[in-house]
Amino acid sequence: MVRSAMTSLWSGELVRLRAVEPEDWAAFAAFDRDTADQRATDRVFPPRSEAGYRAWAQEQSTDSDAFRLVIEAIAGSTFVGSINTFDARPLDGCFSYGLGVLRRYRRKGYAREAITLLLGYMFGERRYQKCDVGVYAFNEDSLALHHKLGFAEEGRLRRQVFTGGTHHDLVRFGMTTEEFTALMP
């Protein structure tokens, strides 16, 4: 992605990142209902009520360095997934993120661009110096994506995740602000 082509810190060529709106509850509910989709990339959680989704969407905030954003395709303003930051430690200058993209929108460049936009903000505007990411070892698409993005594989935590009746490894990746700047000048 070439930064000069961006019209906003939150928009690229394919996606824009935006705050979660209360009406987004239905898109998140539909995403969570696809348990086959979840099992391929993540854990499966118990169902939540419509009221629970509405309350959750209403509570989403971007007032701290731990936040969730909707990934929206620019073409059609379509909900394609979400990205969130967590474990933001300003004193250390480190943060983590999680990402979820609906199956029909995978392998189209949306995740790559959303991650790049988020890293640009966290490194460039919030002055974080390192991003740590954990990827489930069975999620081959995410492993490949993080390698392509230039993240360094920093280790493997054996049998850290239990889903689908089996324990799985968690692969740890990291990227520093200098590595990001070298890859995305």
126 contact partners, CB below 8 Å, separation of at least 6 = 65, 90
At 32 the pLDDT is 83
CA dihedral 111→75→10→43, nearest 10 degrees, is -30
User: How confident is the model over 107-116, as a mean pLDDT?
Assistant: 97
CA dihedral 9→140→106→59, nearest 10 degrees, is -60
Supply the mean pLDDT for the chain.
Answer: 90
Q: Please give the share of the chain, as a percent, with pLDDT higher than 70.
A: 90
User: How confident is the model over 115-128, as a mean pLDDT?
Assistant: 97
Instruction: List helix spans (H) across the chain.
Output: 25-33, 35-41, 50-59, 110-124, 140-149, 177-183
* Confidence band, pLDDT 50/70/90 cuts, at residue 3: very low
Span 11-22, pLDDT tens digits: 999 999 999 999
Strands 152-163 and 130-136: unpaired
* Confidence band, pLDDT 50/70/90 cuts, at residue 112: very high
